[in-house]
Amino acid sequence: MKAILCRSFTGPDDLRVGEIDDPKPAADEILIDVHAASVSFMDQLMVSGLYQMRPPTPFVPGTEASGVVVEVGEKVTTFAPGDRVACSAWTGGYGERMIAKESKSVHLPDGVAFEAAATVLHNYGTAWYALVERARAQRGETLFVTGAAGGVGLAAVDLGSHLGLRVIAGIGSDDKAALVRSYGASEIVNYRSEDLRDRIKSITGGNGIDVGFDNVGGAIFEQMARLMAWGGRLMPIGFTGGEIPSIPMNLPLLKNYSILGVFTGAWAEKYPAEAARMNDALMQLLASEKIRPHIDRVLPLEEAGEAMRAVANRTVQGRIVLRIR
């Protein structure tokens, strides 16, 4: 089969299309004909050797895809050949066929397109796990999302709005403002041109942030740590800014707020039944148009490297999708 191959951890420029054998599903796995795969920041980190895990090389990148089941393992009971599904895995999405755990796959409701389905499990799964499972966010609370125009950030804005939160979107350039506002952000802060502390205090009347959803890290997270409301929840989601922050621990002590780690992939591995229920819920929200994944552009498989470079350069709003077939 045809697939994008990563032979060394040297980044998107060295990715090449190659021919490899079809993967074989284990007892608890399914094999799918991939129709669409999304391109995430995590994929770019993985091929650059900057993610917390390194698959053996050569490997096929791609953590999320959608398609049609062609074979199932002997212990699989939920899926059968011919089923339309979305799935997630640590690798394998950028190929004509991929395998995924039964617990990390979900049926597609009628009418849901493969391209949209390929963007939900990682983006909206992270947002759901953070807001619903970890923060226990309540209607009317104030949510501040950084990197709000990216894939995960925009999903948090969209889902937060659906949950009845007051959403403040943090962006790094003004050209992203219209998009985040269209997804439910009531206020927008450009933290590269505005004083984040002054703006958040002004927007919240000095009360601060109930739920902080930070994709950026570094100085942004450190400023958020000083802007939390009493009893708030501050969540590090990722470090796209490249710097892992450190904060004085007297800050959460003084306002009784919590810092909650969010590693959705690890949670899904440890609690597969709960993750499967979340995936089903997200697909129903997608089918009923209560969440709206934003696809920046659709590219052929051969342009996977270009897609990753765009992600790394922060020129992507929402997700890029690769059309495989």
Domains detected in the chain: 2-119+293-323 (3.90.180.10), 123-264 (3.40.50.720)
195-216 burial by CB neighbour count: b if 16+ within 10 A, else e?
Answer: ebeebbeebbeeebbbbbbbbb
Evaluate if residue 242 carries a pLDDT over 80.
Answer: no
Residue 96 has pLDDT above 90, yes or no: yes
Mean pLDDT for the stretch of residues 256-267:
94
| Contacts of the segment 212-215: beta carbons below 8 A, 24+ positions apart | 212/143, 212/144, 213/127, 213/130, 213/131, 213/143, 213/144, 213/145, 213/146, 213/153, 213/156, 213/160, 213/237, 214/146, 214/147, 215/145, 215/146, 215/147, 215/150, 215/152, 215/153, 215/240
- Rounded percentage of the chain residues whose pLDDT exceeds 70: 100
Q: What is the pLDDT of residues 205-228, one digit of tens each?
A: 999 999 999 999 999 999 999 999
For residues 322 and 301, the answer to whether their CB atoms sit within 8 Å is yes
Average pLDDT, whole number, for the chain?
Answer: 95
pTM tops 0.85: yes
Mean pLDDT of 190-198: 94
pLDDT for residue 243 = 85
